[in-house]
Amino acid sequence: MIELIPAIDIIAGECVRLTKGDYAKKTTYHTNPVEVAVEFERLGFKRLHVVDLDGAKSKHIVNTEVLKSITHSTNLIVDFGGGIKTDADIEKAFECGASMVTIGSVAVTSPHLFAGWLEKYGADKMILGADVRNGMVSINGWKEDTQEALLPFLKFYVEKGVKHVLCTDISRDGTLTGPSTSLYTAVMKAYPSLHLIASGGVSSNADIEELDRNGIPAVVFGKAFYEGRIDINKLT
């Protein structure tokens, strides 16, 4: 069974979702992310994906107090990303209770730094964030496109020991138009040992079941849950 990972995206301490990563297209779903996390745990989820959107935009982590409150209020395994650029950012995330951190931009701009973190903290604590637009990796809160093609980018880090990859199709994120199953299937075909987390576009139970049938190990979803499009009782 595919691993189910609900997401909480944070701006100004509130639980929000963006459309295609556009900060001007923000919907606030709850003013207290901690209450949302507690509800996810009550529903039977074991893991949570937390994104500091303020951090991604500011290029340093911002919402650490929210992270700390979530990890102190639940037993969820929390992976945290958004704005992690330095050793101090990683240490702060772990101090606030994160079990894993998601690193995207630094892996593109400073590969030696990310490789050092991979060695220092271990592959089980590091998630490589691969945010994709038109086949190319994007960074810094999806505001900057790069010339890094996805599969070669992944190959470089798989050879350095990366085990966990969060791959988001930016063009689908927050659109409820269905996930990029063909993209994720291509990644798994190229690197079958990866624990790949599919992200972007999930709109229904059927979308999750499709990913499961295609052998995708894990999926992140947010907007579809918040808008009542996913029946949790039929998934967990």
- Provide the annotated active-site residues: 9, 131
User: What are the φ and ψ backbone dihedral angles of 186, each rounded to 5 degrees?
Assistant: -65, -40
3-state secondary structure of 16: strand
User: What are the φ and ψ backbone dihedral angles of 123, each rounded to 5 degrees?
Assistant: -65, -25
Q: What is the DSSP letter of 162?
A: -
Of the candidates 161, 72, 75, the residue with the CA atom closest to the CA atom of residue 121: 161
Structure tokens at 120: 């220092």
Of the candidates 217, 128, 215, 202, the residue with the CA atom closest to the CA atom of residue 165: 128
Task: Give the span between the Cα atoms of 145 and 184, in whole angstroms.
Answer: 20
Task: Give the span between the Cα atoms of 229 and 14, in whole angstroms.
Answer: 21
